[in-house]
Amino acid sequence: MADPVTVAVDANGADLGPAEVGAGAALAARRGTRVLLFGPAAEIGPVPEGVTAIDAPVSVAKAPEPAAAVRSTPEASIVRAARAVGAGEADALVSGGSTGAAIAAGLFHVKRARGVHRPALAVVLPAPGGRVLMLDVGANVEVRPEHLVQFAFIGAAFARAVLGVGAPRVALLSNGEERARGTRGVVAAHAAIAARAAEVEGVAFVGNVEGTDVTAGVADVIVTDGFTGNVALKLMEGVSQSILGAIREVAGASVRARAGGLLMRPALRAFRDGIDPEASGGAYMLGLRRVGVVAHGRFGRRGFAEAIGVAERAVRGRAVERTQEDLEAAGALRRAPSGAAASVHPSS
Amino acid sequence: MADPVTVAVDANGADLGPAEVGAGAALAARRGTRVLLFGPAAEIGPVPEGVTAIDAPVSVAKAPEPAAAVRSTPEASIVRAARAVGAGEADALVSGGSTGAAIAAGLFHVKRARGVHRPALAVVLPAPGGRVLMLDVGANVEVRPEHLVQFAFIGAAFARAVLGVGAPRVALLSNGEERARGTRGVVAAHAAIAARAAEVEGVAFVGNVEGTDVTAGVADVIVTDGFTGNVALKLMEGVSQSILGAIREVAGASVRARAGGLLMRPALRAFRDGIDPEASGGAYMLGLRRVGVVAHGRFGRRGFAEAIGVAERAVRGRAVERTQEDLEAAGALRRAPSGAAASVHPSS
């Protein structure tokens, strides 16, 4: 294996506390990853081998205004972790705290990759016979067509670099399959992605998909704005919970059904594990100069170890460099200097 | 019971053919509803008692541009049915064909209710301990805040008049619960609904809800734009199918699990019937001078009978009149004369 990869990890914000994040870091270190762990030394306890602990007790994970808190709290653990990445001391960022704080810290201190309008938040969803990467799921509530165009290539590059998809099929989420369906922004993005995808070897634009198709396995990357993507992601969580809850209720409704439920339990558990978000490490911040992974606050050590593992695979798979190459090939890099727009964005 | 209610029904467009719609009309007629059935007489066959059949063989249900087809095809069955409603020959409209054609025919011939900016398409979703009405799910892909405000009161009036909800809790779908979360339009709508709901007796605005809350039973009416609503609705269908399919697969994975699946089958069937869209009659066109119901194309006679039943209940429950009263009380009626906006809208 090549040189070890170094991942900066914010230990604050996890529901199970900094020590659990430390245990995840220890698991990752045992697999050969170097971890810089930013958090309260007193709570983390003995530092595992392969982990460098930096005492950073201040947390902004519960701040009501994450971007403002990140700006006004340079000593916050997420800020210090992001600065370490920005300064080249680490190759990738992992946070288990507030998504908003992680995005703000990433924007301010890791910074946007050259030519990228807006970093996006991506998640992996289960689909028959594989997985699908959906972005944006919440970083950008309002987008312009050129943002959606970039999301398409940013997502495709990540799918190739990290998810092992050779030639990703990219789709645009809309309210109908025809190219004229959708908001004005979606319709414009459709035309632009179709034209530009033809320039990028190994990326296939399959057009619009509807909500029914998200989990149908018809695309590897699904592009949408952060408002729709956030609603869609949380709706999937809610519907899954409702259905599994209803089935649990059904399984207790009669002696027959209860016996059936008991017999099905091992198989149902296997199914539930298949849709476990811990297995995918959380959400990915893409479009920064380095990859960031936002672990879910409720993750345990296994989930944090996987988040660090995804960050390492992104570095080894050259996710950021491939994104640049694909955006360049697509002619989708932002040409204008980062004047007004750049200074406005982080505060939004 | 009061005077019989007359419902105009378009028999074209249903997957099972006009005769199946006719059978649904016969079921409704047996319960006392008068039905005007517009469709191909040759295919409908013998006319059941209580049903008046009008030979209207021309269908635009499969037209690629529904609004244009409705405009250029005055003899189409959906156009003739909508005209019958507009002329006062029937009290409500039911269609099993294309949603787009039904919306266009409703706009042109039933016409918007006084003071309504944009009619919306609403559906009933299952939720623990009840049902939730979500609108818009596709009639208006782009909306202004004042449209969302009207959807809130249009939905609440329908919930009271037809769904038996005494004091509906109305929520706005967003990417976070805080009032500042969402697109600029959603944030503006939040403030306006909060201010206006206080003026309407029996309507409680519970603020923003996230995707996870849609099926959680925290609101009776969920308001969103037609793009997000359409994606959300179809995503729910897709996720439900995926999960039930995966469970079916799991249930066949081992002898133990298969035995368990067999024992659970009656209970699972009861659960599936609970989320059956036929039971709610389809989607509702609200904000017109009369109520319209768009049955799903795949419905059988039972679904069409229920669609006609919902239309009848909407008439008896004074859904349209209550909507006017609530919009008036909320100060949310469109004040401006229906000049440019009115003539522009139907073509969009």
Q: At B30, is the pLDDT very low, low, confident or very high (cuts 50, 70, 90)?
A: very high
Contact check, Cβ <8 Å, A237/B211: yes
B203 CA to chain A: closest CA distance, Å? Answer: 24
B264 CA to chain A: closest CA distance, Å? Answer: 4
Residues B49 and B185 in one domain: no
Contact check, Cβ <8 Å, A235/B211: yes
Structure tokens at A54: 């930096």
Q: Which residues pair with B6 in a beta bridge?
A: B34
Specify the amino acid at residue B135: L
Residues A251 and A297 in one domain: no
pLDDT score for A345: 41
Contact check, Cβ <8 Å, B232/A234: no
Determine, yes or no, domain membership for A282: no
Residues A162 and A249 in one domain: yes
A161 CA to chain B: closest CA distance, Å? Answer: 27
Among B224, B251, B277, the domain-final residue is: B277
Determine, yes or no, domain membership for A20: yes
pLDDT score for A342: 41
d(Cα A1, Cα B18) in Å, to the nearest integer?
68
User: How much of chain A, in percent, has pLDDT values that exceed 70?
Assistant: 89
Residues B16 and B70 in one domain: yes
Nearest CA among B272, B253, B288 for reference residue B90: B288
A219 CA to chain B: closest CA distance, Å? Answer: 14
Q: What's the mean pLDDT in A240-246?
A: 74
Residue in chain A nearest B265 by alpha carbon? A257
Residue A53, C-beta contacts closer than 8 angstroms, at least 6 positions apart: A22, A37, A39, A41, A44, A47
Q: Which of A174, A243, A253 sits opposite B267 (nearest CB)?
A: A253
Query: What digits encode the pLDDT tens for the residues A197-211?
Result: 999 999 999 999 999
pLDDT score for B137: 95
User: How much of chain B, in percent, has pLDDT values that exceed 70?
Assistant: 89
Contact check, Cβ <8 Å, A267/B244: no
Residues B81 and B206 in one domain: no
Determine, yes or no, domain membership for A331: no
d(Cα A267, Cα A247) in Å, to the nearest integer?
14
Give whole-number Cα distances, A312 to A6, A91, B224, in Å. Answer: 8, 8, 39
d(Cα A8, Cα A37) in Å, to the nearest integer?
6
Contact check, Cβ <8 Å, A238/B212: yes
Residue scoring higher pLDDT (A181 or B278): A181
Among A209, A243, A276, the domain-final residue is: A276
Q: Do residues A13 and A297 touch, judged by C-beta distance below 8 A? A: yes
Q: What's the mean pLDDT in A228-252?
A: 81
Contact check, Cβ <8 Å, B227/A228: yes
Contact check, Cβ <8 Å, B141/A175: yes
pLDDT score for B111: 97
B52 CA to chain A: closest CA distance, Å? Answer: 36
Q: At B227, is the pLDDT very low, low, confident or very high (cuts 50, 70, 90)?
A: very high
Contact check, Cβ <8 Å, B246/A274: yes
Determine, yes or no, domain membership for B338: no
Where is A285: in which H helix or E strand? strand A283-286
A128: which chain B residues are within 8 Å (Cβ-Cβ)? 242, 245
pLDDT score for A278: 67
Query: What digits encode the pLDDT tens for the residues A252-302?
Result: 667 777 777 777 666 666 556 655 666 777 899 999 999 999 998 889 999
Substitution target from B264, B265, B273, B298 for chain A, most A beta carbons within 10 A: B264
Q: Which of A141, A210, A271 sits opposite B183 (nearest CB)?
A: A141
B183 CA to chain A: closest CA distance, Å? Answer: 6
Residues B129 and B273 in one domain: yes
Contact check, Cβ <8 Å, B236/A239: yes
Least confident of A17-21, A199-203, A338-342, B121-125: A338-342
pLDDT score for B115: 95
Determine, yes or no, domain membership for A336: no
Among B277, B308, B340, the domain-final residue is: B277
Q: Do residues B304 and B20 touch, judged by C-beta distance below 8 A? A: yes
User: How much of chain A, in percent, has pLDDT values that exceed 90?
Assistant: 72
Q: At B35, is the pLDDT very low, low, confident or very high (cuts 50, 70, 90)?
A: very high
Residues B102 and B35 in one domain: yes
pLDDT score for A215: 86
Contact check, Cβ <8 Å, A141/B242: no
What is the residue whose two structure tokens read 């995840």? A24
Q: Which of B216, B234, B257 sits opposite A210 (nearest CB)?
A: B234
Residues A164 and A203 in one domain: yes
pTM, two decimal places: 0.91
Residue A137 pLDDT > 90: yes
Tell me the three-class secondary structure of chain B, residue by residue. Answer: CCCCCEEEEECCCCCCCHHHHHHHHHHHHHCCCEEEEEECHHHHCCCCCCEEEEECCCCCCCCCCHHHHHHHCCCCHHHHHHHHHHCCCCCEEEECCCHHHHHHHHHHHHCECCCCCCCEEEEEEEECCEEEEEECCCCCCCCCHHHHHHHHHHHHHHHHHCCCCCCCEEEEECCCCCCCCCCHHHHHHHHHHHHHHCCCCCCEEEEEECHHHCCCCCCCEEECCHHHHHHHHHHHHHHHHHHHHHHHHHHCCCHHHHHHHHHHHHHHHHHHHHCCHHHHCCEEEECECCCEEECCCCCCHHHHHHHHHHHHHHHHCCHHHHHHHHHHHHCCCCCCCCCHHHHHHHHC
pLDDT score for B267: 61
Determine, yes or no, domain membership for A50: yes
Residues A153 and A102 in one domain: no
Residue B74 pLDDT > 70: yes
pLDDT score for A236: 87
Averaged pLDDT of chain B? 89
Residues B149 and B92 in one domain: no
pLDDT score for B128: 73
Domain that holds residue B138: 123-277
pLDDT score for B346: 39
Question: Into how many domains does chain B fold?
Answer: 2
DSSP summary character for residue A203: -
Structure tokens at B180: 């500042």
Q: What's the mean pLDDT in B93-121?
A: 95
d(Cα A300, Cα A58) in Å, to the nearest integer?
21
Angle between helices A319-330 and A145-161 (to 10 degrees): 130
Q: What is the CATH number of the domain that holds B28?
A: 3.40.718.10
Query: What digits encode the pLDDT tens for the residues A77-128?
Result: 999 999 999 999 999 999 988 899 999 999 999 999 999 999 999 999 877 7
Determine, yes or no, domain membership for B336: no
Residues A268 and A145 in one domain: yes
Contact check, Cβ <8 Å, B232/A237: no
Rounded to 5°, angle at Cα A202 from A208 and A313: 100
Residues B37 and B92 in one domain: yes
Q: Which of A239, A243, A260 sits opposite B264 (nearest CB)?
A: A260
A272: which chain B residues are within 8 Å (Cβ-Cβ)? none
Determine, yes or no, domain membership for B340: no
Contact check, Cβ <8 Å, A211/B238: yes
Contact check, Cβ <8 Å, B228/A231: yes
Contact check, Cβ <8 Å, B211/A232: yes
pLDDT score for B343: 40
Residue B348 pLDDT > 70: no
pLDDT score for B49: 87
Residue B209 pLDDT > 50: yes
Q: Which of A184, A239, A265 sits opposite B240 (nearest CB)?
A: A239
pLDDT score for B333: 94
DSSP summary character for residue A292: E
Substitution target from A208, A235, A247, A256 for chain B, most B beta carbons within 10 A: A235
Nearest CA among B148, B125, B95, B113 for reference residue B296: B95
pLDDT score for B271: 57
Contact check, Cβ <8 Å, A263/B267: no
A216: which chain B residues are within 8 Å (Cβ-Cβ)? 238, 242
Residue B340 pLDDT > 70: no
pLDDT score for B270: 59
pLDDT score for B7: 98
Residue in chain A nearest B244 by alpha carbon? A243
Taking one residue from A and the other from B, the number of pairs with CB-CB distance under 8 angstroms is 197
